[in-house]
A and B are shown apart, each in its own frame.
Chain A
Amino acid sequence: MTAPLHDTGAAGAAAVDVATDVPGKAIEGRSPWRIAWIRLKRDKVALAGGVVVLLLVLVAAFAPLIVGLLGHPPNEFHEETIDPFFSTPKGSWGGISSDFLFGVEPGNGRDVFSRVVYGARVSLLVAFLSAVVAVVLGTVFGIVAGYFGGWVDAVVSRVMDLLLAFPQLLFIIALVSVVPNSLWGLQGSGVRMAVLIAVIGFFGWPYVGRIVRGQTLSLREREYVEAARSLGAGRGYILFRELLPNLVAPITVYTTLMIPTNVLTEAALSFLGAGVKPPTASWGQMLSKAVTTYEADPMFMIIPGVAIFVTVLAFNLFGDGVRDALDPKGSR
């Protein structure tokens, strides 16, 4: 303790060193992200969720290829598979066969497998992109409100309260009914999807904003912010180089947990007729159609229902795992 410090350069530092050195190996820091990845790898349930998420993304991305190999074009009618008298699929289990893997749609005989695969596209695209919109808006407004405080914070916080209290489902249904058929160079279902993404994202940002604002409020009091200021850092540096890296973890967690919510919202809107336009396939729309036929043909309701369930569950399990791995609260 009383040893002069001049010779602690090597010996002293080594003596009190953390015991993680592998002798002879170049010293590489274990970043907080690497540690999170190591933790996530140990979480089998989360990994299973992640694998399903990955499969779903692949299915959505390669929908035309998959349908080309295993199904029929999603909008092709196969009246020969429908019982002309009851207009339900011929055969048991909703017409499931080696030709129609998930059976056929009552009334017109469209391939349910193809429609579920294409429905994944709509569902995931809307869910992802609206999450992106919400995260970008929420991060910008949350960080600004938290860092600058004062009247900026007061205004942003009131706007967030207002949006959170807004009946968004009703608003979207009303909005969709007045949106023109072509907009921003998009047509038909494209317009509907753009509107869904914009609106779900817009009503989603306050959730992200609240979290980011709260985190920023506590982060801005850390001494490393003062240290940066004492070196002459301006606001931009502090916001983007000092604070933002510490917000990425909570934002990542929230995003992975927001996507399943958005999947459900999209399904609900499609169910209510405010989603993509027929004949574009979507899960919610299939459910809505199944309401009139489920007594005669329950499979047509079960299959899109299971698709939604599996998607939401997989994202939630994966998101929970990511949260545990990143442990945004305890991270130092």
Chain B
Amino acid sequence: MTIPGQPSASPEPAAPLLKVEGLVKHFPITKGLLRRQSGAVQAVDGLTFDVRPGETLGVVGESGCGKSTMGRLITRLLEPTAGRIEFEGRDITHLGVAGMRPMRRDVQMIFQDPYSSLNPRHTVGTIVGAPFRLQGITPEGGVKKEVQRLLGLVGLNPEHYNRYPHEFSGGQRQRIGIARALALKPKLVVADEPVSALDVSIQAQVVNLLDDLQEELGLTYVIIAHDLSVIRHVSDRIAVMYLGKIVELADRSPLYTAPLHPYTRALLSAVPVPDPARRARRERILLKGDVPSPISPPSGCRFHTRCWKATEVCAREEPPLLTLRPGHAVACHHPEDGSDSGARGAVT
């Protein structure tokens, strides 16, 4: 949980576990009987980031900004339109089902909806044992024993082996999904909104479980969430996404205390603050309007239709993702620290 430490202090960070470059996914929109392409949903449009071994990268953004698509791309459930994905230095961008199969042991996914991610016709034993069957592995002591050990690991009764998913609560189902994801001892786990379908009262339990398991098993996480509150305590670094792009990528504490992107500030202002004194001082930023359609995203900075700092250059030129401070990258013509003066052509 605290691997990266001082980003400026470490001169050469360890080789990334996962390296993503210019990742793009466009879903074609077809029309008519001949299925002619009439446009595309630009769900993910040029993502570049690394995931370092042992860290937790949080990915945050509003609904529809392409977070799940990103998760499905790096677990290769979707075929990228462009870009490059490297896992442990190996290019996995266009591997097929057979080519990916051995990689599947190392990269696993936890899904959002615990009611849809477990097959209702399979017992818990079958579900958690499926990874072994599909990968042709016989664990030490047999599948049943290993499945029971995994159930215990995620805080379930190992005797519930023969039960069906409908006999469990949402939180317990999510634990079953976690047990399945951990069965093959993966290196990287992508968790797509692992708690957003759960009762608020049990969200923290599941997040804590993920955190404990990371320490115990040395996992690396990419955790997707739609607001900044859930992942606050578990992320080492956080990427903020808006309409298919990363707008800010920073270590946790600078991102929460000194965000550079207006969108991040807006998201942060929605995070509940427990301390009443601070709550009183803080202004609440309400974004106007809806997220624009990813079919025809706004020109220039995609956020300019909703940004209170937008100027004429914002609509014209797309701001690149620049590292303004060590370990803190932002894509904005007028970042919050006021470093935009002149140089970037902000004429007001």
The interface of chain A, by Cβ under 8 A from chain B, is 1-2, 4-6, 8-10, 12-14, 16-18, 20, 26-32, 150, 222-224, 226-234, 237, 242, 245-246, 248, 331-332
A223 touches B116 (CB 8 A): yes
Do A245 and B202 touch across chains, with their CB atoms under 8 A apart?
no
Which A-B residue pairs are the 9 nearest by beta carbons? Answer: A29-B163, A223-B117, A245-B121, A232-B101, A232-B104, A223-B111, A224-B119, A223-B116, A29-B162
A242's closest neighbor in chain B, by CB?
B119
Q: Give A20 to B157 CA distance when docked, in angstroms.
A: 14
Q: Which residues of B contact A27 (CB under 8 A)?
A: 157, 159-163
Given A9-B152, A18-B167, A30-B164, A231-B115 contact (CB < 8 Å): no
Interface assignment of B166: CB less than 8 Å from any CB of chain A: yes
Cα distance A233–B127 in the bound complex, in angstroms: 13
Residues of A within 8 A of B72 (CB): 226
The reply to whether B157 and A223 contact each other, CB–CB distance below 8 Å, is no
Of chain B, the residue at the smallest CB distance from A237 is B134
Our pick among B120, B123, B157, B165 for the contact of A10 (Cβ within 8 Å) is B157
Residue-wise, chain B 95-127 has the 8 Å CB interface mask toward A (1 for contact) of 001001100100111011101111111111000
With A13-B172, A29-B164, A227-B111 in contact, do A1 and B101 touch (Cβ < 8 Å)? no
Instruction: Check if A13 sits within 8 Å of B162, measured CB to CB.
Output: no
Question: Footprint of A on B, CB under 8 Å?
Answer: 35, 72, 75, 77, 97, 100-101, 104, 107-109, 111-113, 115-124, 130-131, 134-135, 152, 155-157, 159-169, 171-172, 177, 180, 184, 201-202, 204-205, 208-209, 212
For the complex formed, measure the closest distance between the CB of A147 and the CB atoms of chain B, giving whole angstroms. 14
In contact, A8 and B120 (Cβ under 8 angstroms): no
| Known A-B contacts A5-B208, A18-B169, A232-B101; A226 and B160 likewise in contact (beta carbons under 8 Å) | no
Known: A226-B77, A228-B130, A228-B134. A13 touches B156 (CB 8 A): yes
Chain B residues within 8 Å of A17, by CB:
157, 172
Contact call B112/A223, Cβ cutoff below 8 A: yes
CA distance A150 to B104 in the complex (A): 27
A29 partner, pick from B35, B123, B204, beta carbons under 8 A: B123
CB pair A1–B204 under 8 Å, yes or no, is yes
| Nearest-CB residue, chain A, relative to B110 | A227
CA distance A6 to B107 in the complex (A): 25
* Nearest-neighbor residue (CB-CB) of B114 within chain A: A223
B98 to chain A, nearest CB (A): 8
Partner among A228, A231, A332 whose Cβ is within 8 Å of the Cβ of B120: A332
In whole angstroms, what is the CA distance A233 to B77 when docked?
A: 11
Contact: B204 with A2, CB < 8 Å? yes
Residues of A within 8 A of B171 (CB): 16
* Contact, CB under 8 Å: A6 / B111: no
* Sampled A-B contacts (26; CB under 8 Å): A5-B155, A5-B205, A5-B208, A5-B209, A9-B152, A10-B157, A12-B205, A13-B155, A13-B172, A18-B169, A27-B159, A28-B162, A29-B124, A29-B164, A29-B167, A30-B163, A32-B121, A32-B164, A226-B111, A230-B75, A231-B131, A231-B134, A232-B101, A232-B135, A246-B119, A331-B120
